[in-house]
Structure 1
Amino acid sequence: MKGANVRGKGVRLGLLFGVCALALTLSGSVGARTNHAAANTTLVFAGAADPTYLDPALVSDGESFRVTEQIFEGLVGIKPGTTSIRPALATSWKVAPDGKTYVFSLRHNVKFHDGTKFNAKAVCANFNRWYNFSGPFQDASATYYYQAIFGGFHHNESNTLSPPLYKSCAANGTYKVTIRTNRRNGPFLPALSLSAFAIQSPAAMAKYGANQGELRSGTFYPTGSYAFSHPTGTGPFKFGSWTVGQRIVLDRFSGYWGKKAKLSRVIIRPIANNEARLQALRTGEINGYDLVAPQDIGSINGDSKLKTLNRPPFNVAYVTINQAHSPFDKLAVRQAVAYGLDRASVVRSFYFGRAVVAQEFLPPQIFGWTNKVPKYPYNPNKSKQLLQSAGLSLPVKVDFWYPTGVSRPYMPNPALNFQAFSDSLEKSGFKVTPHTAPWRPDYVKHVNDGTAGDLNLIGWTGDYGDPDNFVGVFFGNYSPQFGFHNDAIFNILKRAQEEVNYKKRVKLYQQANIMIMKFLPAVPYAHSRPALAFQKTVKGYVPNPTGTDYFFPVYFGGQ
């Protein structure tokens, strides 16, 4: 959920404060205003919330990946500003004719931040770690991305888990590795660019209990210190400290194999409120921030000391409908929800010209999008008729959740979206019971676990340029978030995923999108074009469509 879907994830503040109290004590200059003497080497950046954890295999939200993307690297990465893959820890790769065997040549002379060597054994240790997760680690709140891409595990402990995609990993000497899968998978290679599949130090994971965790009231929690205080990768920045609710400190890794980061330090602060982020930028407390409120863009661009950067649109905001909850297992009721959501008014009122109404889950830029999906314009009378045709008495009660303490690229102000949707549903035969939860640590986990009401506001920013990363992640297998089994949809998405012929994949995904919008497991409502804001002295920042950006090219220069 990188944006948060379902694609995501959480942890209790008490636990975090206890663990993070062990973090490095920050000097007084760390939180200083950016006109401090050290400002030219320290970037202070504001996100909207704390990370969930710092073990990328166990998270799926954008705020966590914002940090882990600086610390860790995968076999492949993405070219800045695009969704095209590039070499990272692998310098090259070959795919066998069977489409199920991948041979990666690895980069030489790379070390993890703890000084241990990166090599083929380390790669296989990571792949086998994911494959052999057991117990609480097989819960969706722990390994959402692994399950979305790789399916099941070596020993599936639930009949809702699918057969595993992964088969084996073999080290062929020190710097070559062969990875085999059980079936062909079109998006496998670009999926490896996800931070969730970054290569982590096997030694650090063993030392600091990365594989220790438990379920508490149905939600996964790491119990070792690795995910809070000892994340160890090969990236251009290494972990410094984490003070929950205040800051994460990342320091330049002097032993980095590639071009060294131009900044000596990056401080990432969680500032949930849009106005507070803008005020912090104007006063110089921060140098830049993500998730600019659409209504603020004009005033920022009118300030001679500030600027905005546009992120390419690559997301979808939607309303989950949980079919495990009666009467939402009835198609007519889901159609009534769709007709009862005034999506056009929400986009018009709260996105300030920087979004379009989403008619399906794929953004128009991705192959497989089609204009032939069923449409559901706002129609309160039709909504009431559908509810009555389902044998229900009006109004129909609905538990509707939305998050607090967060702003997302696809959902700048969740409370405003919720209130507008609540009002339109009340006019359409429903009686809405509002329910809120903080984005961190509770909301996304509840969404993923299917415990966030009958309806909930959520969304998704894509991770790589393939339709499987949207509809495949959402609807390719059973998900507690949506609570349905539909073999026709599961099967066509599986066929599309395993197909390697581009034209055939396009046709299959177009068919799948029509099926999905007829079945209505959720209601998409917006594709947005997010913005970031910076002081004009900040140079070299390139927004990625995926919402996960690199800090290593960033520097300070004249206006």
Structure 2
Amino acid sequence: MQSPAGPLRKVTWRAVALSAVVLLVTTACTATPLPTPTTTAPSAAPAPTATFNFGTGSEPMGFDPALVADTESYRVSRQVLEGLVTIDPVTSAPAPSLATKWTELDNGLGYSFDLRPDVKFQDGTAFDAAAVCTNFQRWYTLPPDIRGDGSATMFKQVFRGFADEPEYTIYQGCSVDGPLKVTLSLKVRLTDFLQALTLPAFAISSPAALTAGTANVLDEQFSGKKISRYAQHPVGTGPFTFTSATVGAVTMNAYPNYWGEKGEIKTLNFKTFDQPDTRFAALDEGSIDGFDPVTPGNFDKLIKNGKQVLQRDPFSVVYLGINQKIPVLADLKVREAIAGSIDKATLVSNYFIAGTAATAQFIPPKLSGFNNAVEGIPYDPAKAKAVLAASSYKGEELKFYYPTNAARPYLPLPEKVYAQIAANLTATGFNIKPVPIPWNEGYVPAVTGNEDHALSLLGWNGSYADPDNFVGPLFGSPTKLLGMDDPQLVSKITRARSIPDGPDRVAAYEAISKQLAATVPAVPLAFPISALALSSRVVFYPLSPVLNEVFNKVKLAPAPQ
């Protein structure tokens, strides 16, 4: 892996298809106001007519992105809801969306946004500055009974706290400066603030719909999770309106009054297939037009059957979580023995798409903060046994949580990955108790909402090109997932995210990477390559390493005459 040529690494995102290569180059973002892109007037384009069916590997957990952050929930909400800024598909810099331009104020302590005129929510109400502040006020004041400890919400991961946590939060407020002008204020500088606003969690909902759907009252159920009535039917400004959701299927339709490009798809259906073979069969027989994710076992079959396979460049990390609230796991030697027991090379070779790289770090090598000097703890069974023998571990049972009946872009075969890691740990001398939990029956709440798990298998898909997006959510504040108490590390991450882009910021994140490798609060396993499959009907798909894939951008081959 190469060293950075300057203070910031240039990030290159690549997508490989059978018949084409799409090159996406990512550079550092800028706070300079960007011009409004030229868009085709809605009346100039023909109305969408196509039906498009897309297969997914697991059920979404809900449709209120303020409260859920899983890949499949975001896949749906991206179609319906939009934020102030989006991600430029070529540069990855923040680009205009519901805001047409912005200005940095007070050396990063505030940002003034000019909002797009003549935009309406899908319920017919007007999008304006008051709507923006209503959403930010809702996120800031989320009550504890619906947010839990907040660790699973993007608002806390970005702003570090809510209104009732004044000692932690860096959010200052939102002010309406005119019908289409708004200012967001911070207590301290946040260098990646604009990039963070591209997260689906900061998409703007209709205030009227939030009220009508009692968005802060979780009195309904979906996919094993308590949700609000609003979360069953989100209302935004996006290219598709939410129609219905049942077990295994989500349907939406093109929004006829969308301000931007409507695209070719009139009806969009997401269908869940939790097994790789059923996803492959559905595509092969033509009942779906594509699916995500591709697993290693069906990669070659897809190619042999003439399907398109698009690979996203690695922008995620899969890891083994270690819960230090379990007394014996507070012993560094025990954590070192765990890390030294895992055969990452075999994991990557057997259970991930070719090109996936094993890693000892959480920050991908294409971002500033990846530290070339950090090698981590190598796989060494003999040494792992010796380290374990010298530790405080006396054969205590360790509950190992892992998801089943799901495939994630960062974890296509969770049961098999668990099985190998458990075998490695058992060979070293650990007493492992398997705790399989179906993804759709609350796996994420189980590992983030209680403290009885010892080990857990999870991953993180990057949402924007900044190192804080990888280390901040996992280590920037205390969580029940890892049960760690390291104020020094939290302080380092808090400081690093406020340093302006340049050599000092790079050095700060490199130091964080070094500390994480030395203290082993979790074991990074790999930077997975994810892939999706498409039928020949699709001539363009808006592939994105951060999964910013909105289906009004899909281009289809003309229907046969």
**Structure 1 residues 381 and 214: alpha-carbon distance in aligned structure 2, compared to 1, 3 A threshold:** farther
Matched, 1:226 2:235: no
For structure 1, the 5+ residue unaligned runs are 1-38
Matched, 1:73 2:82: yes
Contact 1:151 1:163 (8 Å CA) reproduced? yes
* Offset at residue 48 of structure 1 (A): 1.0
**Structure 1 residues 486 and 327: alpha-carbon distance in aligned structure 2, compared to 1, 3 A threshold:** same
Q: Find 1:238's aligned residue among 237, 241, 255.
A: 241
SS in 1 for 2:89: coil
Matched, 1:87 2:96: yes
SS in 2 for 1:373: coil
Residue 310 of structure 2: aligned partner: 309
Determine the C-alpha separation between the residues in 1 that align with 2:164 and 2:438. 34
**TM-score where L is the length of structure 1:** 0.88
Contact 2:344 2:358 (8 Å CA) reproduced? yes
Alignment deviations for residues 415-436 of structure 1 (CA, whole Å, 9 cap, x no partner): 1101111111111111211111
Matched, 1:56 2:62: no
Contact 1:44 1:287 (8 Å CA) reproduced? yes
Determine the C-alpha separation between the residues in 1 that align with 2:308 and 2:469. 31
Q: State the one-letter code of the partner of 2:530.
A: P
Determine the C-alpha separation between the residues in 2 that align with 1:142 and 1:348. 32
Contact 1:141 1:449 (8 Å CA) reproduced? no
Q: Find 1:256's aligned residue among 241, 255, 258.
A: 258
1:55-454 matches, within 5 Å, as 55-80=64-89, 83-140=92-149, 144-156=153-165, 163-213=168-218, 221-222=226-227, 224-228=228-232, 230-244=233-247, 246-304=248-306, 306-393=307-394, 395-451=395-451, 453-454=453-454
SS in 2 for 1:172: strand
**TM-score where L is the length of structure 2:** 0.88
Contact 1:172 1:178 (8 Å CA) reproduced? yes
> RMSD across aligned C-alpha pairs, in angstroms?
1.9
Contact 1:151 1:165 (8 Å CA) reproduced? yes
Equivalent residue pairs, number:
510
Contact 1:141 1:445 (8 Å CA) reproduced? no
Alignment deviations for residues 187-210 of structure 1 (CA, whole Å, 9 cap, x no partner): 111000000010000001101111
Q: State the one-letter code of the partner of 2:89.
A: P
Q: State the one-letter code of the partner of 1:493.
A: I
Decide which moves more: 315-324 or 131-140: 131-140
Alignment deviations for residues 496-547 of structure 1 (CA, whole Å, 9 cap, x no partner): 1011132211110000100011111100111111111000111221211112
Query: Percent same amino acid at aligned positions?
Result: 35
Contact 1:42 1:264 (8 Å CA) reproduced? yes
* Offset at residue 154 of structure 1 (A): 1.2
For structure 2, the 5+ residue unaligned runs are 1-47
Determine the C-alpha separation between the residues in 1 that align with 2:390 and 2:154. 39
Alignment deviations for residues 148-182 of structure 1 (CA, whole Å, 9 cap, x no partner): 011111123xxxx8621211111111000011111
**Structure 1 residues 391 and 169: alpha-carbon distance in aligned structure 2, compared to 1, 3 A threshold:** closer
Determine the C-alpha separation between the residues in 2 that align with 1:311 and 1:208. 36
Residue 14 of structure 1: aligned partner: none
* Offset at residue 385 of structure 1 (A): 1.8
SS in 2 for 1:257: coil
* Offset at residue 60 of structure 1 (A): 0.8
**Structure 1 residues 285 and 233: alpha-carbon distance in aligned structure 2, compared to 1, 3 A threshold:** same
SS in 2 for 1:409: coil
* Offset at residue 450 of structure 1 (A): 4.1
Determine the C-alpha separation between the residues in 2 that align with 1:349 and 1:294. 8
Q: State the one-letter code of the partner of 1:196.
A: A
**Structure 1 residues 214 and 187: alpha-carbon distance in aligned structure 2, compared to 1, 3 A threshold:** farther
Contact 1:136 1:213 (8 Å CA) reproduced? no
Determine the C-alpha separation between the residues in 1 that align with 2:204 and 2:139. 11
Contact 2:328 2:392 (8 Å CA) reproduced? no
Residue 41 of structure 1: aligned partner: 50
Contact 1:398 1:454 (8 Å CA) reproduced? yes
Runs of 4+ off more than 6 Å: none
Alignment deviations for residues 431-480 of structure 1 (CA, whole Å, 9 cap, x no partner): 21111101123101112224462011100110000000001111011111
Determine the C-alpha separation between the residues in 2 that align with 1:349 and 1:553. 34
Contact 1:71 1:236 (8 Å CA) reproduced? yes
Contact 2:218 2:229 (8 Å CA) reproduced? no
* Offset at residue 262 of structure 1 (A): 1.5
Contact 1:136 1:220 (8 Å CA) reproduced? no
Contact 1:48 1:271 (8 Å CA) reproduced? yes
Determine the C-alpha separation between the residues in 2 that align with 1:259 and 1:558. 18
SS in 1 for 2:294: coil
Contact 1:398 1:433 (8 Å CA) reproduced? yes
Q: State the one-letter code of the partner of 2:238.
A: G
SS in 1 for 2:441: helix
**Structure 1 residues 466 and 162: alpha-carbon distance in aligned structure 2, compared to 1, 3 A threshold:** farther
Q: State the one-letter code of the partner of 2:230.
A: Y
Q: State the one-letter code of the partner of 1:233.
A: G
Determine the C-alpha separation between the residues in 2 that align with 1:496 and 1:300. 44
Q: State the one-letter code of the partner of 2:429.
A: G
1:440-519 matches, within 5 Å, as 440-451=440-451, 453-519=453-519
Determine the C-alpha separation between the residues in 2 that align with 1:385 and 1:152. 42
Q: State the one-letter code of the partner of 2:241.
A: K
Determine the C-alpha separation between the residues in 2 that align with 1:189 and 1:555. 29
Contact 1:541 1:550 (8 Å CA) reproduced? no
* Offset at residue 298 of structure 1 (A): 2.4
